[in-house]
Amino acid sequence: MLKNIILSLLLAISCQAFYAAILPERTWRLHWIRYTKIPAFMVGFTILSTAGIPAYIWQPVRLIVIIALIAQFYFQTGIRKNLILSVTFCVIFWLTATCYLSVVSLFSNRMGKDAFYFAKRLTDTVTILVLLCPMLLLCHKYKERVRELSVYDWKKFVIFPFIGITVITAINMIFWNGYDTDRYARLTIVLGFAMMNIFIFYFMIRTLEKEKELQMLRLRSERTQNQMDMYHTMQKNYDLQRQRLHDYKNQLNCIQGLLDSGQLHAAKEYISGLTGTLWTNMNHIDTRHNVVNVILNQKYQSASDRNITMSFMVNDLSALTMDEEDLVTLLANIIDNAIEACEKLPDKKHFDKIIQLKMILEDSQLILSVRNPVDRQVLIKNNSVVTSKQDPLHHGIGLVNVDTVIRKNNGIHVLQCENGWFSFSAIIPIAS
């Protein structure tokens, strides 16, 4: 019994390290709950080790179910991704055990009968000890790299873990008659399958890295386009100011002429009209942060040109420490998506074309939310917009880059679509 508990503890550490290298942990109001992961895995494995051994098909199923249920409780993941990861961990475990058994079987003739059965009884012990080191190495040395890649399109590789578990189960169900040729064949098959999985894993990593590079190129391209839009807006405002300054002397002369001729009422009306015209070309939003001011005023003008109303709730953002490129990517994408959604509204809903933006800095956190109406329900799954070719809304465009920026700054965000309103909300911690 003590041996089973120790082996269950070691296997629990390996399983926890495997999941921690790929998935973020859930946050708990009671912080001590996060420290119960390993005990939970250990209890599950101990129960399995003391229970009777079922038929072959139930051996992998029960272990997969136990791992998936515990991981679902402690880690931030969807059910499908969790199931794939639990199958992957079990494939690695059983492949290691099958390799060990194949080697022991190959040398069975050179061992005594007692030595052979003793070596077979050590299968779980050797497998767990062999598995522990690479899992701890994966968690402590390659965790950041693996997590960066795990957010990309891993779904294209879901078939491989299930193929692996099918092959390993089939190998262990085959009857071996004890001939040396069968032992060599079994070892060759197992080692070949192990090498194939290593190559597949390498191929997956390289594919995800290439996808990450492409995503970064798209992000840089989008940032460049956003910056060019900002520069064009600034150039336009600068040209308008030059034109105003060019006419400034003539306007003063006109005012002076009206005053000299005693036409005070006409001079007053002329000045009122002049200041009103100047006000329409001034910045409407001042957050005391230059980059935020440029973006918000640019998008405000863009929305106004499309007869879309924008309402703002902002405060002093001078202490905002986010990178300027991240700010441009974040704000430009979510506001552009909101403007595009409002443009899709029918003319009969013209009075509903309004975008509500809240951007407040308090308690060392940036609170950002954007709401806009939509003419049809937007499907959201796993905090991502599900789009289709028939869907006229394009909220998903650019949201991948927004998610990248938020994760880079250790923030969280939520997408919702209720009662005809689409909303984006984010909380991003700001360094002092």
Question: How does pLDDT run across 330-350, given as a tens digit for each residue?
Answer: 898 899 889 988 888 887 655
pLDDT at site 142: 64
The residue ranges of DSSP E strands in 349-403, in sequence order, are 354-362, 365-373, 380-381, 384-385
Q: Under 8 Å CB-to-CB from 254, ≥6 apart: which residues?
A: 270
pLDDT at 248: 67
Q: How many CB atoms within 10 Å of residue 39?
A: 11
Do residues 172 and 112 make contact, with C-beta atoms less than 8 angstroms apart? no
- At 177, the amino acid letter reads N
Mean pLDDT along residues 87-104: 82
Lowest average pLDDT, out of 46-50, 97-101, 145-149, 356-360, goes to: 145-149
Looking at this protein, which amino acid is placed at residue 15? C
Taking residues 119-124, what's their average pLDDT?
79
pLDDT in tens, 12-28: 999 988 888 888 888 77
Residue with the larger pLDDT of the pair 55 and 366 = 366
pLDDT value of position 46: 85
The reported pLDDT for the residue numbered 48 is 81
Q: Is pLDDT larger for residue 154 or for residue 377?
A: 377
Q: Which residue has the higher pLDDT, 269 or 218?
A: 269
In angstroms, the Cα distances linking 31 to 13, 18, 25, 407 are: 19, 21, 12, 22
pLDDT at 431: 66
Residue 62: per-residue pLDDT: 83
How many of the other CB atoms lie within 10 Å of CB of 180? 11
pLDDT the model gives residue 107: 72
Taking residues 235-250, report their average pLDDT.
64
CB 401 within 8 A of CB 222: yes
Higher pLDDT, 333 or 276: 333
Between 391 and 255, where is the model more confident? 255
Q: Is the pLDDT confidence value at 205 over 70?
A: no
Among 18-22, 74-78, 269-273, the minimum mean pLDDT is found in 269-273
Predicted confidence (pLDDT) per residue in 223-242, tens digit? 666 666 666 666 666 566 66
pLDDT at 242: 65
**What pLDDT does 279 receive?**
45
Burial of 296 (0-12, 13-18, 19+ CB in 10 A): buried
pLDDT digits (tens, 9 = 90+) for 167-201: 776 666 664 555 555 666 777 777 777 777 777 66
pLDDT of 33 strictly over 90 = no
Delineate the domains of the chain, giving CATH numbers in brackets.
Answer: 2-220 (no CATH), 285-432 (3.30.565.10)
pLDDT of 253 strictly over 70:
yes
CA-based torsion, 327, 340, 368, 304: positive or negative? positive
Please calculate the CA angle 38-24-96 and round it to the nearest 5 degrees: 55
pLDDT recorded at residue 356? 94
- pLDDT reading at 425 higher than 90: yes
**Res. 426 pLDDT band, cuts 50 70 90:** very high
Q: What is the mean pLDDT of the chain?
A: 77
Chain centre distance of CA 256: 63
Q: Work out the pLDDT band at 144, boundaries 50, 70, 90.
A: low
Predicted TM-score (pTM) of the model is 0.52
- Please state which of the ranges 13-17, 202-206, 230-234, 365-369 shows the lowest mean pLDDT: 230-234
Maximum pairwise Cα distance, the chain: 124
Say which range, 79-83, 110-114, 301-305, has the weakest mean pLDDT: 110-114
pLDDT number for residue 217: 72
Highest mean pLDDT, choosing among 104-118, 151-165, 222-236, 417-431: 417-431
Q: How confident is the model at residue 424 (pLDDT cuts 50, 70, 90)?
A: very high
Q: How confident is the model at residue 358 (pLDDT cuts 50, 70, 90)?
A: very high
